[in-house]
């Protein structure tokens, strides 16, 4: 069993952060008011090397914990929270395997129709290693007042009764070339 390593990330000159994150496999990105953190089970040397190639400086540190009054909310996109909102934003990231991604892209929606042109082109980029697919799940921990203010900007659903909804939420997919996680992490 390997212990999770927590690193504080600082963008020096961003370059293909999502691609490097896909090479690391899986991890958890946490964004607080001022800093972004990465928690991963990979070796610290490998992680710092990949992040350095992405133009991100990494330093070992402790992960901030949600405050006592914070409540979880499920986010449906990677739009960053506003600067004035107090909260902890957590995105779990996993690289989607080539087989799983290409099977989903090339699946026929209807038996007599072929896959769409966009799906075929996306699958071609994956097979040529020009792109990668990342699965993500986002949870925002904030106070009730901050949650009300954030809902005007970000699509959030507060978790009130079903506490298992946080862990059972299905992963959403994004392409590494879209740099959606990079925009969220360093906004």
Q: Is 145 exposed, middle or buried (0-12, 13-18, 19+ CB in 10 A)?
A: exposed
The full set of domain ranges for the chain reads 5-96+132-185
> Among 9-13, 130-134, 151-155, 172-176, whose mean pLDDT is lowest?
151-155
pLDDT of amino acid 100: 92
| Distance from C-alpha of 81 to C-alpha of 172, rounded to nearest angstrom | 19
CB 9 within 8 A of CB 57: yes
Question: Which residue matches tokens 């862990």?
Answer: 167
pLDDT single digits (tens) 65-104: 777 788 888 888 888 877 666 788 899 999 999 999 988 8
What distance lies between CA 97 and its chain's CA centroid? 16
Quote the pTM value: 0.84
Query: Averaged over 125-134, what is the pLDDT?
Result: 91
Query: Averaged over 30-40, what is the pLDDT?
Result: 89
Question: Which residue matches tokens 């990494």?
Answer: 58
User: How much is the mean pLDDT over the chain?
Assistant: 85
What number of helices (H) and strands (E) belong to the chain? 7, 9
Is the model's pLDDT at 118 over the cut of 60? yes
- Alpha helices per DSSP H over 73-143: 98-106, 117-127
pLDDT category of residue 1 using cuts at 50, 70 and 90:
very low
H/E stretch holding 60 reads strand 56-60
- Please give the share of the chain, as a percent, with pLDDT higher than 70: 94
């Amino acid at each position: 069993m390997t212990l999770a390593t927590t690193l504080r990330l600082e963008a020096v000159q961003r370059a293909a952060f999502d691609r490097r994150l896909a090479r690391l496999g899986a991890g958890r990105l946490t964004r607080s008011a001022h800093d972004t953190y990465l928690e991963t089970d990979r070796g610290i040397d490998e992680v710092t090397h990949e992040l350095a190639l992405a133009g991100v400086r990494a330093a070992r540190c402790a992960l901030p914990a949600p405050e006592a009054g914070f409540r979880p909310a499920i986010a449906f996109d990677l739009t960053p929270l506003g600067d004035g909102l107090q909260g902890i934003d957590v995105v779990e990231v996993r690289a989607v395997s080539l087989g799983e991604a290409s099977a989903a892209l090339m699946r026929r929606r209807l038996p007599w129709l072929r896959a769409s042109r966009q799906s075929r082109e996306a699958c071609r980029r994956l097979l040529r290693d020009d792109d990668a697919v990342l699965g993500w799940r986002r949870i925002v921990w904030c106070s009730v007042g901050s949650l009300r203010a954030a809902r005007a900007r970000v699509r959030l659903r507060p978790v009130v009764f079903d506490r298992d909804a946080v862990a059972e939420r299905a992963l959403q997919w994004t392409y590494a070339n879209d740099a959606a996680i990079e925009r969220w992490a360093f906004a």
